[in-house]
Structure formats: structure tokens, C-alpha cells
Amino acid sequence: MDTIPFDLPDSAYAWADLSEAILEAGFDESNGPSRNLIDQWEEPDDPIWSVLSANWLCENAESIRSQIDGATRNRARLEQFLTCLIRNFRQAISVKNGYSDMEQLQRLVLVQHVAELYSKLHGWGLQRCEGSLLQVLFASGHSTAIHLGVELLLAKPPVDWADVSLSLAPLMQSKTWNVEDVFPKLLQSTTPAVLSPALDVANFVVRNRSLSEHPAASELAVLLRLMGGLVNQLGMLEENPAQFGSSVAAIQKILFDSVSLCVSLCDTLGLIGSQEAVGKLTQATKLSHRRIRTEAAFALAKLGEKKGEELLIELAADFSSRQRAVAYAEELGIEDRIDERWTNSAAIAESRLANWLAQNEQMGISPSRMELLDQRTLSWPGFEQQQECFLFRFEYDMKDSVYSNVGFSGPTCHTFSQDLADISLDDTYAIFVGWDIDHPDAFEVAPNSLDARIQDRMNRLLGSLPENLELIETLLCVCFFEHFGILARVLINDEVRIALISEDDRVTCEPFTTKNKADPMLTYWLWRGRTFFESV
């Protein structure tokens, strides 16, 4: 990199020297794996100073690469260091009125260094760092920086679509950037991980800026050919997935990329509003993938096609498609044509849970069957008004068996790996609410990390245990507002159990009657949930 063309105080260079020393010391194995030297890093007095560290990282990229290859700890050190720097990059380029000429120069120089750093680190596999670096360019709002970001996404795209979505997020949070700086240039990408988020941004802009023409309208012919190819590929995937790869992971990636791009294209074609898209969208409705069928039906309905409306009404009966189908029907003003069985609160809650379970982070697919177990209106943390809450039994047909469990749908959706079938409905709700509570006064501490106050409370509690209870192992000390207890493995009535012993002489034992090993935290959440419901 060229010499930085503006003056910085000596203290800036002293800070940069210390930062570099801390990172290099973190790479030194003699410091021991338990000593996190990055914790010694201090924020610069002025975030623009971070340009010095960016410059140093660019100049020493090859040496740093050799130190992190095969060294998990060093890779984590670098990721942590970059996270700190990127936070300062964002602060230094943040959009504000009244920049002086020098401040504008500093921002542009920093942007150039960030772009160079992204190029140097591209392909290193640093978690979310690529997306965060690109995000700096798009967050600046400056045309030069945004052009750089677009060029990098086209020439050196991140592998992970989540990094692309992270980088483009500022474009959905601001209206100050010029659409022409991004579109249609970014739509030239042939990478699904880039093109799908790019179309999502274009669609978002159309909805929020009331544009007279869609940014992708000039690319309609290209998009229609792409849509046709994707529909054909997905059709072949449904018939014979094995032809697309020898591993489940490879096939799943192709499926995920294809579905994501197809969904974005359906939305785009519906917003462009050209009748030329009717044929390709109709083909998409013939696929078995419910999400694609729902999006294609909505796009067709927006183009005035009655078959799109009819398909949306039909899809509302399917719990995997219902939530979106009903929402789209409401947007079109045809919700009164849907059977009330599919629009009541329990039906929508069922669909929310099915969609949550279908996420890749959960089960990855929708359940085979669902059944409403219970419906109640309950007080819930974080809400002033009582909330409708639902418990569902859901099942998955496996190759040689059926997997079954209980899920919650209401202010949030959740389920646990432990089957809650043997627990009373009251306690099941208590476990879910106990898990969902997030408050500074509700926390847990490991027994070897107690401060003097909590240590004293634990000693007093251990000194007054019930006579029929023998402590085997203390797992956690827990504080729930004014309540205090210990989560422990105990011998009670000659049986080893997990129990939460609280200061009010209450013992909450694990609620399971099965022989399966339960997560001790479920007992903790049960205690929190019971305590919460008793207090409201």
C-alpha cells in the first residue's frame, strides 16, 4: 500500500505498534493457549487510526497466513483482532453531514485499505470477516466505496451466502445510496450466493423507494433464462438427487442455492410485472417444493393470473405453506376466500412452528404430521399483554422409525432435544417460558467462579439441605431476580436425580419419568418458569 497521505499524531503510531505487538504475541505459542492477549487490546482514541493496522495487515498478509494455517488458536486470535478493527472501520466511515475535505480524504483512504485487506484475506475461511469487511464499504454510503464493494463481490465473492447478505445489509438500512451504483451491475454475478441477496436488495428497494422501474428490469431476458434453468435443475433434483453429487452435503448445497435463487427470482419477476414471466412462473408451480410453489403463485397473482390466486388458497391448507400463503392472500385482498380453519390463530401458530423446524439450523425439513396439544393465553416475559401460546406434537417419518416431540409456538418458537411427552402441560409451558427469559437479573454461575456474596449464599443453602437429600455434585449456582438456588445432582430417597434446590426450601426435581438422560438445564428452566408464573 502507498504511504498514508495525511498526518496522524505520534500517539496513533504508538497505538498501532502496540496493537501489532499484541497480535504477534497472541500468535506466539510460548504464551500458552489459555492466555488471551487480544484482551489487552485497547480502542484507539480516534477510529481513523485503525487505517494503520489495516495497512500493516495488508503488508504482512503472507507471514500472518503462515502463522494461522493449521493453528486453530492463531486463527481465532486473528478473527478476534479483525472484529475489533472492523468495528473501528465502521465508526471511521460512518455517514454524517459536514465532513471536511480532510475527513473525506481519510474515509476514502480507509475504504481503499479495507478493500485491499478484503482481497488479501479472501479465501482464508475467517468466520464472517469477509462479510464484515465488505459491509464497511457498503455502509459508507460513498459512491466510490460502493463501486469497490460491487467489483469485489463480482471478482472475489465470499463462498458463504451469509457473508454476502451481511455485506449488503447496509443497503437495506439506508436510503442515501444511489441505486445506480449497485444495479444492474451487481446482477451480472453468476454466483447464486451473490445473485440471490442482490435480487433481495433490489426487491427491497422497489418496495421502499417506490421506484417507477425495477433495477433488474433491463435484465429481464437474462433472468427468465436463469429461471428456466433453475426450474429444470430443481425438477431433475427431485427425480434423481444422486446425479448432482456423491455426498449429501454437496447435494444439499446445490439445493439450497437453487431454492434461494428461485425464491428471489419469483419475487423479482412479480415486481417487474411483465407478462413474459407467466410461463416460467407457471413451470415453477409444478415443482414439489412448497416454498417455491408459494412464491411463484404469489408472483402469478400479482401479474393478474387467477391460477396464482387459486394455488395460494390451496396452499393455505398445508401447514408448511400456510403462514406465507395467508399473508400473501391478505396482501392481495383475497383472504376471505380461504377456509377459516386455516386462518385462525392456532393454524397460523402451527405453520410458524413448522417453518421454524424446517430451518437448516433445526430439523431442516417440515414435519410429516402435527397435532395441537394445548392452547392458552399466558403472561410472557417481555410483553405487557398476555400472549396466545400453543403446544404441538410433531412427527417425522424416518427410514425405520418415527421421531416425535413437543414444540412451542407463541411469542417464539422452540423445541428441545429431550422429548417432553411425559411432562404435564403446566410444566411444559414452564420449561419454555423459563428458557425464554433473558434478563440481567436472571443468570447462572459455575461453582468455581463465585464471588464472595454468591459463595456465602451457596454455603448457607448447603448447610440447610433437606434430610432426605444428599448432595453428589453442584452443577450451577443460579440467581433469578431475588431468588437463589443451586442446580445439583443429588441422591434423594435412594435415587440419583437432578434437582434445583432454592433458598425457600423448595426442591424442584427433573420432571421426566422416562429412563432417558435429560439435560440438567431443563430442570433449571422448569424452576425459573414455575417461579415466573407464580409471580405474575
d(CA 386, CA 380): 6
Q: Are 408 and 391 in contact (CB under 8 A)?
A: yes
Q: What type of residue sits at position 523?
A: T
Q: What type of residue sits at position 105?
A: L
Residues 339, 341, 347, CA angle at the centre, nearest 5°?
A: 125
pLDDT along the chain (536 residues), means of 10: 78 92 76 55 90 93 88 84 92 74 87 94 88 94 93 93 93 91 93 94 92 92 95 91 81 87 96 96 95 97 97 96 96 95 96 94 91 97 96 93 95 93 93 95 90 89 85 92 92 86 85 66 94 93
What are the structural domain ranges in the chain? 1-177, 208-343, 344-415, 442-535
Residue 42 is predicted with a pLDDT of 85
Residue by residue, DSSP assigns 51-69 as HHHHHHHHHTHHHHHHHHT
Number of H helices, E strands in the chain: 19, 9
Q: Are 333 and 390 in contact (CB under 8 A)?
A: no
Q: Is the dihedral of CA 486, 492, 494, 497 positive or negative?
A: negative
Closest CA relative to residue 461, chosen from 492, 512, 503: 503
d(CA 433, CA 408): 10
Closest CA relative to residue 532, chosen from 489, 482, 488, 457: 482
Distances (CA, A) of 490 to 187, 329, 352, 448: 62, 55, 39, 18
Q: Is 145 exposed, middle or buried (0-12, 13-18, 19+ CB in 10 A)?
A: buried
**Is it true that the peptide bond before 184 is cis, omega within 30 degrees of 0?**
yes
Residue 242 is predicted with a pLDDT of 81
Residue 23 is predicted with a pLDDT of 84
Strands (E), 278-424: 369-378, 387-397, 402-409, 413-415
C-alpha cell at 411: 411469542
DSSP H or E segment with residue 10: helix 10-27
Residue 183 is predicted with a pLDDT of 94
Q: Are 486 and 465 in contact (CB under 8 A)?
A: no
Residue 197 is predicted with a pLDDT of 95
β-bridge mates for residue 124, sequence order: none
Rg of the chain over CA atoms, in angstroms? 28
Residue 1 is predicted with a pLDDT of 44
Residues 442, 445, 449, CA angle at the centre, nearest 5°?
A: 150
- Report the C-alpha dihedral over residues 64, 23, 39, 119, rounded to 10 degrees: -40
C-alpha cell at 352: 410458524
Residues 13, 14, 16, CA angle at the centre, nearest 5°?
A: 60
Closest CA relative to residue 56, chosen from 107, 98, 104, 116: 116
C-alpha cell at 444: 447462572
Q: 369-378 and 387-397 as β-strands: parallel, antiparallel, unpaired?
A: antiparallel
β-bridge mates for residue 484, sequence order: 479
End-to-end Cα, the chain, rounded Å? 62
Residue 172 is predicted with a pLDDT of 93
